[in-house]
């Protein structure tokens, strides 16, 4: 099948983001692009924007799936925008659209996406020292079902390599 | 407005449920009914079914919002079924439909509903010794935004009373 | 199973509604309530509001499934509000929640709900002289699949009786 | 903004499709690709598959937004798959994701997408002699609001040119 590998990067929106998190997300996005995978994000600010920026600088393709029904609200680094109009439940759409997931920092919205990805048994990697949910859930199962272990990595490159390994055709 | 108070009880589906959790959920459902509030659940088994059973025995009205598009898959204690056809993202619909939320045990699906309720700033109470997410998140904020504090209680009655207090018109 | 019969009434919002359409919707809502069925509407104005008003005056229970995530935006005759936050795609949720559907007038939103109900093979009745989609699609199949024939009736009572007949347990 | 133009082609799934419709859809998809726009479809068979095939042969990028939560169910000509898990309500997601819409034949599902596109005021073109909804709704408004006129064209090229004209940045 023609389908490209689709990798989701999740994490803080502008609220709660820092220059370090942006750098981490940028690097992760760039590595995704360099692997010829499509980068998917929630299309807004913070980690989502930085990752998309990195993917564009890496020559890749970016998709932003946003909560609103207005595509102009997506960040400027999205080649394609899905204005879901679903509000925050678009977190599930992000998880479903992902072959694998990378977590950078993150608050409750990110946790919601982790839950969805976990329930759908997608491989999940976190940058374990990036704080927030990425740190909190590194190297754990989310619950008793042990669907998939969330693995923590020290660097964006290692996290991306792990996801590429897990999503080889 | 004619609108009734709508209280959501969340927790384990059949997988991971125990007789103790069912008893706790049953009691919580009964108290919800006795307060003349509508009970909302995810309409399937485990905690959802026990809570609905308790609400019916308490003379109340029950709504089940299920992931599938087939109403016959809801448990037998639902007066009204919303067969959302949305899959697991119906967790958001549950949270949006709730004036307040009570957590009994729970795994990743329950955590997803807690995230949604927290993001929408709904009051949330847990039975703090019921295990799973109810124990894990008792007396905490979900993230740095501190939207709403998730409060742990020893008994279903105390948890319901707290939610009733928080949702007084 | 305890589940009540759930009947959906659809039609014009405030835009495009008339006193005649409101009277027709009011009467339909009242008959639904008198049959001990739950009335479901899209929870906003026009036909939805009038039908809910009629159902309340008929002693029945009403549910409004609205596009927004804010329950206060529902009309005042809804006992229960599902603030879907899904925008206009909540038309599908309405159709899925219905055992049967009654159409009063209606524009593009109503047509969308007719499409959804038809695709899910729900029985559909229209008040055939109420204009809009109710008139346009009376006594027709929506497409070549011939899932279910949309039947036109002269009065709200006849339309409701037909739906009750089609949805007998 | 980096965002590409996103054009949606809708019409019959396998059920109801014909070789003529496939040829028309293939040509439309090819023209979309040749304009450097992204082709969006509902990702399944019939018109959706033929349009995606034409876009791939035209060197373009294709996205399939499918009702199921399993990406393997998309047709083989989709570069990117959004497995929405939303069932048929993904028709709204298609319409929201479109800058403009082209209709080839089509039954009730297509009509649902036309309703959604019309409600969101997207430009809509049909191949007016391709039958189904494309013929039925050519050169009309969907309802009294007159949001946008659905324009009928004789050829796929004319329809695509019209949409390109309507969606110039």
Q: Is the CB of B158 inside 8 Å of chain C's CB atoms?
A: no
Q: Chains that contact D by 3+ CB pairs under 8 Å?
A: A, B, C
* Low-confidence residues in chain A, pLDDT < 50: none
pLDDT in tens, D83-95: 999 999 999 999 9
Compute the nearest-CA separation of B84 from chain D (Å): 9
Which residue in C68, C70, C83, C89 has the most chain A C-beta atoms within 10 A of its own C-beta, making it the best mutation to test that interface? C89
C100 bridge partner residues? C7
Q: Which residues contact C49 (CB under 8 A, 6 or more apart)?
A: C22, C41, C75, C76, C77
Burial bucket for residue B129 (CB in 10 Å: 0-12, 13-18, 19+): middle
Q: Which pLDDT score, from 0 to 100, does residue C18 have?
A: 97
Q: Is the CB of A93 inside 8 Å of chain D's CB atoms?
A: yes
Asked if residue C1 has pLDDT above 70, the reply is: no
For chain B, the average pLDDT equals: 96
Compute the nearest-CA separation of D86 from chain B (Å): 5
pLDDT in tens, B44-77: 999 999 999 999 999 999 999 999 999 999 999 9
What's the complex ipTM? 0.96
Asked if residue C158 has pLDDT above 60, the reply is: yes
* Rounded average pLDDT over C52-63: 98
What torsion, rounded to 10 degrees, do the Cα atoms D150, D152, D155, D160 define?
-20
Tell me which chain B residue has its CA closest to the CA of residue A118.
B108
From chain D, the residues in CB contact with C89 under 8 A are 86, 89, 92-93, 116
Q: How far apart are CA D112 and CA C13, in angstroms?
A: 18
Q: Is the CB of D68 inside 8 Å of chain A's CB atoms?
A: no
Closest CA to B77 of B107, B42, B126, B113: B42
- In chain C, the domains with their CATH numbers are 6-166 (3.40.50.450)
Q: How far apart are CA C153 and CA C158, in angstroms?
A: 6
Burial bucket for residue B139 (CB in 10 Å: 0-12, 13-18, 19+): exposed
Asked if residue B169 has pLDDT above 80, the reply is: no
Q: Is the CB of C97 inside 8 Å of chain D's CB atoms?
A: no
**Tokens 């093979």 appear where?**
C121
Q: Chains that contact A by 3+ CB pairs under 8 Å?
A: B, C, D
Confidence of residue B25 (pLDDT cuts 50, 70, 90): very high
Tallying the residues shown for chain A, one arrives at 169
Compute the nearest-CA separation of B37 from chain C (Å): 10
* Rounded average pLDDT over D52-56: 98
Confidence of residue C169 (pLDDT cuts 50, 70, 90): confident
- For C124, the token pair is 């559909």
Which residue in B87, B88, B93, B112 has the most chain D C-beta atoms within 10 A of its own C-beta, making it the best mutation to test that interface? B87
Q: Which residues contact B36 (CB under 8 A, 6 or more apart)?
A: B4, B5, B60
Q: How far apart are CA A42 and CA A28, in angstroms?
A: 15
* Rounded average pLDDT over C61-69: 98
Q: Is the CB of B59 inside 8 Å of chain A's CB atoms?
A: no
Confidence of residue D1 (pLDDT cuts 50, 70, 90): low
From chain C, the residues in CB contact with D118 under 8 A are 108
* Rounded average pLDDT over B128-152: 96
* Rounded average pLDDT over D147-154: 96
Task: Give the H or E element holding residue B125.
Answer: strand B124-127
Q: Which of D38, D76, D96 sits opposite A69 (nearest CB)?
A: D96
Q: Which residues contact D150 (CB under 8 A, 6 or more apart)?
A: D103, D114, D118, D124, D125, D126, D137, D138, D139, D140, D141, D142
Q: Which of A15, A116, A118 sits opposite B145 (nearest CB)?
A: A15
Q: Which of A2, A82, A97 sits opposite D83 (nearest CB)?
A: A97
Q: Which pLDDT score, from 0 to 100, does residue D98 have?
A: 98
Q: How far apart are CA C103 and CA C132, in angstroms?
A: 10
């Amino acid at each position: 099948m023609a389908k490209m590998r689709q990798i989701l990067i999740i994490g803080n929106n502008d609220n709660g983001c820092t220059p370090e998190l942006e750098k981490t997300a940028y690097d992760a996005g760039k590595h995704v692009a360099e692997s010829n995978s499509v980068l998917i994000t929630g299309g807004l600010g913070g980690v989502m924007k930085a990752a998309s920026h990195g993917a564009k600088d890496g020559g890749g393709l970016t998709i932003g799936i946003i909560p609103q029904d207005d595509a102009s609200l997506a960040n400027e680094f999205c080649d394609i925008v899905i204005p879901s109009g679903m509000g925050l439940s678009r977190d599930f759409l992000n998880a479903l659209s992902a072959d694998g997931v990378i977590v950078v920092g993150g608050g409750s919205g990110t946790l919601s996406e982790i839950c969805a990805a976990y329930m759908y048994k997608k491989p999940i990697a976190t940058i374990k020292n990036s704080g927030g949910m990425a740190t909190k859930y590194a190297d754990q199962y989310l619950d008793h079902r042990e669907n998939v272990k969330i693995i923590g990595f020290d660097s964006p490159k290692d996290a991306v390599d792990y996801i590429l390994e897990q999503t080889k055709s």
